[in-house]
Amino acid sequence: MRIGINVLFIAPGSMGGSETYIRNLIDGFQEIDSDNEYIIFTSQENDSTFIIPVKSNFHKVMLPCKSKGIKRVLLEQFLLPYLIRKHKLDVVFYPGGISCIFSRIPAVLTIHDLHHLHYPSSFSWGQRLYRSIFLPRSVQRVNKITTPSEFTATDVVKHLNVDMKKITVIYLSVKDKQFFETNNHQDKEIYKKYDLSQPYVLSVASTYPHKNLDGLLSACIILHRRGFKFNLVLVGTHMSFDSTLKKLIDSSFIKDHVKVLGYVPDADLPALYRGAIVYAFPSMFEGFGLPLLEAMMSGIPIVASNRGSLPEIGTDAAMFVEPDPKSISEGIESLLSNGALRTEMRGRGFNRAKQFSVKKQQSKLLH
């Protein structure tokens, strides 16, 4: 079978969990599937970041566009159908939530979440228009839809008038070796690289308003006023919302205890997780929440909000709270002040993380 994968939309280092998911998926296919032929459609911006073995059943076709903008949309909708026919593809996988609506080749679409419907102010008018035009047509056009959680599947049925029978829930996964395998010397070098001092509470998230980092900051202020001493370390891609968060940090009395690292290479992330005393995930909306899984794999006790997909993914492996500063602070406090509870939550996290398999994910997608 000849399979196409559209990754035109991937802007390297700025896509968060969805980018991690797609890259891991393609790497996994290279490891386990030598029977099918794969054509990966890339942009000028991301082509060099997708490494394909010289002698393999994987090939790249680069389109002359960046990963964002009207030119990419036009090429995706009008040139891509021609390339799909040219390469005689049997099926095309669209992991970015929008398909080529003018192609009649069988297709599979992944919808990670409906963020733009729940928090429209986080998107420009152009982004909202693009999704309002192409998403409803995409879900009707494709043969199969996958979502990373039951929460997102229900959301898609509710807002996009899709039959649940068309949807398959496929939980995301990560390369577990980089999180399970420890290297104390290497970890110390990474802490030195980022000038980190322990103990610290870690949060890995972009600065979208729904990520609720201002609520987390307020929770940490409450805890510092109550005598708890720790640092807050924030990791995530820089965005236009950074300035608002920076103002809040600079005006707080704990500003010297807050470290904003911005984008961090994937290779450094496992050490940052392992070094944390608590992982905080106060987001008000998630379609899956990949950092939750990464934290569980790293054996870090977790405080997370009880919204979106997070309770579904974390089950009993995280402490779930309302996403307000008082509740978040109480959750973090219970872990900071109770070593036995932290140990118990670490064990629960490891056990839950083992239920997420890259091979299981790939198998469900291929079938």
Which pair of tokens denotes residue 286? 């998630």
If asked whether residues 337 and 203 sit together in one domain, one would say: yes
Q: Is the separation of the CB atoms in 248 and 212 below 8 Å? A: no
If asked whether residues 54 and 198 sit together in one domain, one would say: no
Total domains in the chain come to 2
- Residues whose CB is less than 8 angstroms from the CB of residue 270 and which lie 6 or more positions away in sequence, other chains included: 178, 179, 294, 298
If asked whether residues 262 and 203 sit together in one domain, one would say: yes
If asked whether residues 161 and 271 sit together in one domain, one would say: no
- Residues whose CB is less than 8 angstroms from the CB of residue 50 and which lie 6 or more positions away in sequence, other chains included: 7, 23, 26, 40, 42, 60
Which pair of tokens denotes residue 92? 């095309």
9 closest CA partner among 103, 85, 109, 90: 109
The percent of residues above 70 in pLDDT, for the chain, comes to 97
| Per-residue model confidence (pLDDT) at position 180 | 66
* Strands 91-94 vs 107-110: parallel, antiparallel or unpaired: parallel
Kindly state whether residue 81 falls inside one of the protein's structural domains: yes
**181 pLDDT above the threshold of 70:** no
E strand intervals along 212-256: 231-235
If asked whether residues 41 and 118 sit together in one domain, one would say: yes
**104 pLDDT above the threshold of 90:** yes
- Model pTM? 0.92
Domain closes at, from 138, 170, 202: 170
Residue 238 pLDDT level (bands cut at 50, 70, 90): confident
Q: 3-class DSSP state for residue 184?
A: helix
If asked whether residues 186 and 255 sit together in one domain, one would say: yes
Which uninterrupted H or E stretch holds 167? strand 167-169
**24 pLDDT above the threshold of 90:** no
If asked whether residues 155 and 247 sit together in one domain, one would say: no
If asked whether residues 251 and 199 sit together in one domain, one would say: yes
What CATH number has the domain bearing residue 203?
3.40.50.2000
Kindly state whether residue 359 falls inside one of the protein's structural domains: no
| Per-residue model confidence (pLDDT) at position 83 | 97
Q: 3-class DSSP state for residue 243?
A: helix
Domain closes at, from 137, 152, 170: 170
Residue 282 lies in domain: 177-353
User: If you average pLDDT over residues 107-127, what whole number do you get?
Assistant: 94
Distance CA 57, CA 36 (A): 7
Q: Is the separation of the CB atoms in 356 and 293 below 8 Å? A: yes
Q: How far apart are the first and last CA of the chain?
A: 12
Kindly state whether residue 9 falls inside one of the protein's structural domains: yes
User: If you average pLDDT over residues 297-323, what whole number do you get?
Assistant: 97
**C-alpha torsion 312→314→315→321, nearest 10:** -90
Domain closes at, from 111, 144, 170: 170
